[in-house]
Amino acid sequence: MKSALHIACSRQNLQQVRDFVRGHLDGHGFADVAINQVVLAVDEVVANFVIHANEEDESQFLDLTLGLEDRLLEIEIVDQGDTIFLPNPTAVAPDLRESIKQSRKGGMGMVLVNRLMDRVEFFARDNHTVCHLSKTLR
């Protein structure tokens, strides 16, 4: 089963993304915890594309495709903008205590995504950034 969503790069569309992912997964008997993990991971990646890669330029677009075969969920997020945005896949988690002490925000999102999903890949395809996420759901 596949579903697709095309959105403009605006924070206002993040709720639509969360609803889209949850709607795709609801009704298949997966644990709420697993569904929430996927929703959070996709929300974080999309937010990074919207905010950091496209600077909330609503003339830029993202395409999301969700595929579910048995328990394997495959997610592809394609940034249709011209900027290649490839986060460091081996980024070390910042020191949480130091971040709290200095009241710093940010820097934990991709660490969280990597922990929530089984596989996280960023690559360039046809001058666009693609993020591929996968997870076997229980």
Query: In this prediction, what percent of the chain has a pLDDT beyond 90?
Result: 76
- pLDDT range class, residue 52, cuts 50, 70, 90: very high
pLDDT at residue 36, as a whole number: 98
Could you tell me which residue, 103 or 136, shows the higher pLDDT?
Answer: 136
* CB-CB neighbours of 50 under 10 Å: 25
The strand pairing partners of 99, in sequence order, are: none
Phi (first) and psi of residue 92, to 5 degrees: -85, 140
Work out whether the CA dihedral 73, 70, 34, 112 comes out positive or negative.
negative
Enclosing domain of residue 94:
2-136
Note the pTM of the prediction, 2 decimals.
0.89
Q: What is the CATH number of the domain that holds 74?
A: 3.30.565.10
- pLDDT range class, residue 25, cuts 50, 70, 90: very high
Domain count, the chain: 1
Q: Report, as an integer, the average pLDDT of 111-122.
A: 94
Q: What is the pLDDT of residues 81-93, one digit of tens each?
A: 878 888 765 555 5
Is the pLDDT assigned to residue 1 strictly greater than 90?
Answer: no
- pLDDT range class, residue 103, cuts 50, 70, 90: low
H runs (alpha helix) in the chain: 14-25, 32-48, 96-101, 109-116
